Amino acid sequence: MNPTFNFHEFKTANRLPSPSGTALEIMKLLQRDDVEINQVAQLIKLDPALSGRILQFANSAASGANRVISNISDAIIMMGMNAAKNFALSLSLIGNDSYSRCPGFDYSTYWSRSLAIAVAITCLSVRERVISSEEAFTLGLLSDIGRLALATAWSESYGECIFAHGTELLRLEQERFATDHNALTLMLLADWGFSSVFLEALKLSFNEPNTENPSKVSKFAQQLKFARQIANYCVADEGYRAVLMPELLIESALHTFDVHELDALIDDVLKQWYEWGKLINVKTDTRQSSPEFFSDLNNNGLSGFNILVVDDDPTMLTRLSRQLTAAGHQVATCKDGHAALKHALEYKPDLIVTNWHMKPMDGIELSKTLHSSTWGSSIYIIMLTSASEESALVKAFSAGIDDYVTTPLNLKVLLARIRAGQRIINLQREVEAERKDLQRYIAKLAVANRRLELMANTDVLTGLSNRRYSMNRLEQAWTEALHSNTPLSVLMLDLDHFKSVNDSLGHDAGDLVLIHTAKIMRKCMRANDIPCRLGGEEFLVIAPNTDSKNALVLAEYIRQMIERNQVENVQLLKPMTVSIGVACSRNGKPTWKELMTLSDEALYAVKRNKRNAVQLAV
């Protein structure tokens, strides 16, 4: 961490992106008061690549030229000398391969997005002219140059920060370097001679520009903010573009674009972005799932894992903890295997990154212990090891590790392995969630099936078992009685004079009588008796383990209860009574079908006589 930041010391140390060749000579030349256009043109002509790109830009739709520009002098007149200088400056930075390579910094995506910002702000300047499109292009291209500067000046240290985003990234940069990429961008552009109007607008665009302020600075700041949103859309994949579109629609409304105009603007930006990419050798085929390194995990409900880092080296623990925290994870640390076991048992981390060689318990023993337990077998383990021999790796995987990273440690590789582990853990969780969902579905389906079965076997009016169920249950009871050598009796019931109830009082009254009769029958039933409604006014009682004598007692009890408990609120012409026929089977004779026939014959014998009586089949 640097306590203070001195830009002049930073410059003299040659630790930042610097213009070179023709661009540097142009910058020196334009510091003179007597410089002429032909002098600048002669310098540009010395660089064929720069000459071609300036002519290409001068004849592009963005420049607004109404005739073909065929020479450098005309191009400079059209663009202006300052714009030509800035254009040469920006292109020299793109073509400069002398930067220190920062681990994890995606140079290709950086320039692709920067070019998209340049094209977007140019297109916006053409539609709503606040500054010249030539100047807008250059400022857009360099509007995030501070990130490249930090990656160049502190290539190793900055690699530990770049996986953070937004305010968290700015905080980490200030903590480590006493400046941040936004502030450094403004310092570099001021040093390279960009006007104060541009710098003030760019600074304002990093925050929230005042949409009510009609000043030139405020309007250009709004355009820069909008251009960055369009650039994010350009480098996003199809899925993430759908997420970004609502924000684009909101921002476009501030610039009085309707939906169709926004679509046309985006199409124009994409087309010119591809063309410029070919012209200045910037890749435009890079796509990101989100503007953050781990946002694909956020969108899948995995915004960051609980990771336990185990190492007996305090420096390594501190470094990994900071790096993984910056990458969006919740990180805990332990200095040996014993402490890690205790922590894992209590907190159940999603993933463990452990060193191999530690005392008293090393990474191999830790992995064995975890995977031998039910609670630890699902924890994903990444081993840090200097060993690359086949036998050593086989030993590690046999102990239960899931992946490994060789040391000296490459953070980018470790993060890639963690993401791979996250995908596996995510799939395991999805499978487990689907398994639980399936279990819940099966349970609900079983309940639904039981309800359907109950509905299929139940008389809707009375709630008693219906004819379908009674026939199946009677056959089953007869088979059970045969096997257990116990008697089985059936009672066939028929309400007396029930037809007169329906004819004189209506079917509603008849239904009340049937419901009342069913309630009385239930009260009369013993534990194993099964009351059923066969249809109309006919009922059946299946009486397992009941001989003919006890069946007659039960039948008489039912008859008396029905006679004594008349239905209320129905003015019957005659008191409700019931006739009952009884039949009994022993040792399988008669059969269950014959039981039905015999009980039915006994019932009708009662009906032919005085009714309201009980009779046993002969």
**Catalytically annotated residues:** 537
Burial label for 359, CB within 10 Å (0-12, 13-18, 19+), is exposed
Scan for tokens 């994010």, then name that residue: 232
DSSP 442-495: HHHHHHHHHHHHHHHTB-TTT-SB-HHHHHHHHHHHHHHHHHHT--EEEEEEEE
Q: Which of 471, 485, 472, 490 is nearest to 529 (CA)?
A: 490
Per-residue 3-state assignment (H helix, E strand, C coil) for 285-333 = CCCECCCCCCHHHHHCCCCCCEEEEECCCHHHHHHHHHHHHHCCCEEEE
Q: Up-side HSE of residue 463: CA atoms within 13 Å toward CB?
A: 9
H helices within 46-106, ranges in order? 48-58, 72-79, 81-94
Contact in structure between 518 and 462 (CB atoms under 8 Å): yes
Cis geometry, peptide bond prior to residue 291 (ω within 30 degrees of 0): no
Contact in structure between 58 and 69 (CB atoms under 8 Å): yes
Contact in structure between 310 and 355 (CB atoms under 8 Å): yes
Q: Which of 488, 492, 490 is nearest to 588 (CA)?
A: 488
